[in-house]
Amino acid sequence: MAAGLIYGQVKKCYRRRKLMRVTHVMRLGTETALKAVLQRLGFSGRLNTAFIERVNLTVRHGVAALARRTWVTGQQSPPLLAHLEWWRAYYHFVRPHASLRMALVHPRERGGKRLAQRYRQCTPAMAAGRTNRRWTAREVLCYPLPDGTVHSLSMNKVRRRTSDRAAGGLMKIKTG
* Residue-level pLDDT at 93: 94
Q: Examine residue 141 and state whether it is found in any structural domain, yes or no.
A: yes
H or E stretch covering 121 = none
Pairwise pLDDT comparison (130 vs 160), residue with the higher score: 130
72 in a domain, yes or no?
A: no
- For residue 164, the enclosing domain spans 77-109+116-173
Same domain, 89 and 159: yes
Category of 158 on φ-ψ map: left (φ > 0), alpha (ψ -120 to 50) or beta: beta
Looking at the fold, whether 83 and 133 belong to one and the same domain comes out as yes
Mean pLDDT value of segment 134-160: 65
Shared domain check, 165 and 97 = yes
Q: Which residues contact 60 (CB under 8 A, 6 or more apart)?
A: 66, 67, 68
In angstroms, rounded to a whole number, what is the distance separating the alpha carbons of residues 97 and 122? 6
Q: What gap in Å lies between CA 42 and CA 36, rounded to an integer?
A: 10
Confidence band (pLDDT; 50, 70, 90) for 106? confident
Q: Please, what sign has the CA dihedral across residues 132, 129, 102, 60? A: positive
- Give the total number of structural domains in the chain: 2
3 is a domain residue = no
- Claim to verify: residue 62 and residue 89 sit in the same structural domain: no
Note whether residue 1 is domain-resident. Answer: no
Sort 2 into a burial class: Cβ within 10 Å, 0-12 / 13-18 / 19+: exposed
Q: Are 82 and 169 found together in one domain? A: yes
pLDDT tens digits for 16-73? 989 999 898 998 888 899 899 889 888 888 888 887 788 888 888 888 777 766 666 5
Pick from 85-89, 118-122, 164-168: least confident: 164-168
- Residue-wise pLDDT for 5-20, tens only, equals 888 888 889 999 899 9
- 85 and 168 co-located in one domain: yes
Query: What is the chain's mean pLDDT, rounded?
Result: 78
> In terms of domains, do 165 and 83 share one?
yes
Residues 91, 51 within the same domain:
no
CA distance 126 to 106: 20
Indicate whether 120 belongs to any domain. Answer: yes
- State the pLDDT at residue 171: 37
Containing H/E element for 2?
Answer: none
Q: Name the residue with higher pLDDT: 78 or 22.
A: 22
- What is the pLDDT at residue 147? 65
Q: Examine residue 36 and state whether it is found in any structural domain, yes or no.
A: yes
Is the residue at 35 inside a domain? yes
